[in-house]
Amino acid sequence: MSRVEGKVAFVTGAARGQGRAFCVRLAEEGADIVAVDILGDVDTVLYPMARQQDLDETAKAVEATGRRIVTRQADVRDLGSLQSAVADGLAAFDHIDVVCANAGVASFGTTWELTEQSWQDMLDINLTGAWHTVKAVLPSMVEAGRGGSIVLTSSTAGLKGMANIAHYTAAKHGLVGLMRTLANEVAPHRIRVNTVHPTNVATDMILNDSTFRLFRPDLADPSQEDMIDAMTGLNALPVPWVEPRDVANAVLFLASDESRYITGATLPVDAGCLVK
Ligand SMILES: NC(=O)c1ccc[n+]([C@@H]2O[C@H](COP(=O)([O-])OP(=O)(O)OC[C@H]3O[C@@H](n4cnc5c(N)ncnc54)[C@H](O)[C@@H]3O)[C@@H](O)[C@H]2O)c1
């Protein structure tokens, strides 16, 4: 129950899904949390983003573990909003030791059909948003001199090509480049930087109509059930997707001192998707 005792974690995309699971899992093991989310929609994304009540749910779940949480609305495209969330987190907790750059969106289209706005929103949120996140937090981490751990949420699409998501795949590969550079830059400060690469995860990002239709274009009105075989086919292990807590367990390990000499690593949580 104390694998990250005394640490403070800054988590983006924290209102639901994997971000919420990271907050709760880290809190269960002793961390206080600074949680941010956009709490509003993105025009080029066909499913809704989280809302204030989702972020409140995350806060309740963290507080139920006995840990503290600061929640803020922030769009990772807006560096200033992240910097003020960091300032509020530091005012409450004095230091930040763990960063989970997790906020992200999904949309679909062949490379030649994607609109410029869809491409741009994807790169702005899934790549530049992660850079903004580390840029907002790192000055305080370096100054505090306590070391730390940064985990960027990439994807199996960060390590292999996948049809219909060129913009997503480019952004998630970009995170690996960012991680590899940053790992070198901050190592002298005993700050580690790694990426996690989940296969499909059971969250609102994939459990929505636009994904059902992508996986089952042959059906007029496909459901989650109709997608199971196609998604299972992506993984070596016989499961269609993993749960947010499976990824949270990997993030917890990377956040904790158990991984104190692991930096620059690309850690799959992928049910064997990448080995297939
Ligand atoms: N679900 C999957 O199958 C899957 C697989 C691999 C990687 N990922 C990645 O995992 C991360 C988390 O996604 P999830 O599966 O929990 O989906 P999700 O949609 O449930 O959660 C994403 C969260 O990010 C927030 N968000 C979106 N844009 C934002 C912005 N501009 N600023 C701040 N917050 C923003 C949303 O409101 C939401 O709460 C994403 O980076 C995603 O690309 C997801």
Instruction: Return the pLDDT at 67.
Output: 98
Which residue CA neighbors atom 3 of ligand 1 most closely?
200
Q: Judge whether 168 counts as a catalytic residue.
A: yes
Whose CA is closest to 102, among 154, 43, 49?
154
> What is the arithmetic mean of pLDDT over 196-224?
96
Which residue CA neighbors atom 1 of ligand 1 most closely?
201
pLDDT at 233 over 90: yes
Instruction: Return the pLDDT at 160.
Output: 98
Q: How far does the centroid of ligand 1 lie from the alpha carbon of residue 104, in Å?
A: 4
pLDDT at 1 over 80: no
Q: Count the residues in the chain.
A: 276
> What is the arithmetic mean of pLDDT over 161-166?
96
Ligand 1 pocket at CB < 6 A: 12-13, 15-19, 37-38, 42, 49-50, 75-77, 102-105, 125, 129, 153, 155, 198, 200-201, 203-206
Which residue CA neighbors atom 7 of ligand 1 most closely?
155
As a whole-number percent, the residues of the chain with pLDDT over 70 amount to 100
What three-state secondary structure class fits 110? Answer: coil
Q: How far does the centroid of ligand 1 lie from the alpha carbon of residue 188, in Å?
A: 31
pLDDT at 166 over 80: yes
Dihedral over Cα of 69, 72, 76, 78: its sign: negative
Euclidean distance between CA atoms 263 and 254, whole angstroms: 9
- Residue 41 in tokens: 């929609």
Instruction: Return the pLDDT at 125.
Output: 99
Whole-prediction pTM? 0.99
Question: In ligand 1, which atom is closest to the CA atom of 153?
Answer: 41
268: pLDDT confidence band, cut at 50, 70 and 90? very high
Question: In ligand 1, which atom is closest to the CA atom of 129?
Answer: 31
> What is the arithmetic mean of pLDDT over 74-79?
98
pLDDT, the chain, mean: 98
pLDDT tens-place string over residues 169-201:
999 999 999 999 999 999 999 999 999 999 999
From 22, 168, 212, 241, the catalytic residue: 168
Q: How far does the centroid of ligand 1 lie from the alpha carbon of residue 14, in Å?
A: 9
Residues paired with residue 211 on neighbouring β-strands, in sequence order: none
H, E, C per residue of 51-81: CHHHHHHHHHHHHHCCCCEEEEECCCCCHHH
Which residue CA neighbors atom 40 of ligand 1 most closely?
104
CB burial of residue 160 (10 Å; 0-12, 13-18, 19+)? middle
Question: In ligand 1, which atom is closest to the CA atom of 54?
Answer: 39
Euclidean distance between CA atoms 44 and 96, whole angstroms: 33
Q: How far does the centroid of ligand 1 lie from the alpha carbon of residue 205, in Å?
A: 7
Q: How far does the centroid of ligand 1 lie from the alpha carbon of residue 226, in Å?
A: 23
Question: In ligand 1, which atom is closest to the CA atom of 18?
Answer: 16
Neighbours of 21 (CB within 10 A): 26
Residues paired with residue 99 on neighbouring β-strands, in sequence order: 10, 150
pLDDT tens-place string over residues 19-59:
999 999 999 999 999 999 999 999 999 999 999 999 999 99
- Residue 179 in tokens: 């991680």
176-210-250-147 Cα dihedral, nearest 10 degrees: 50
Euclidean distance between CA atoms 210 and 22, whole angstroms: 26
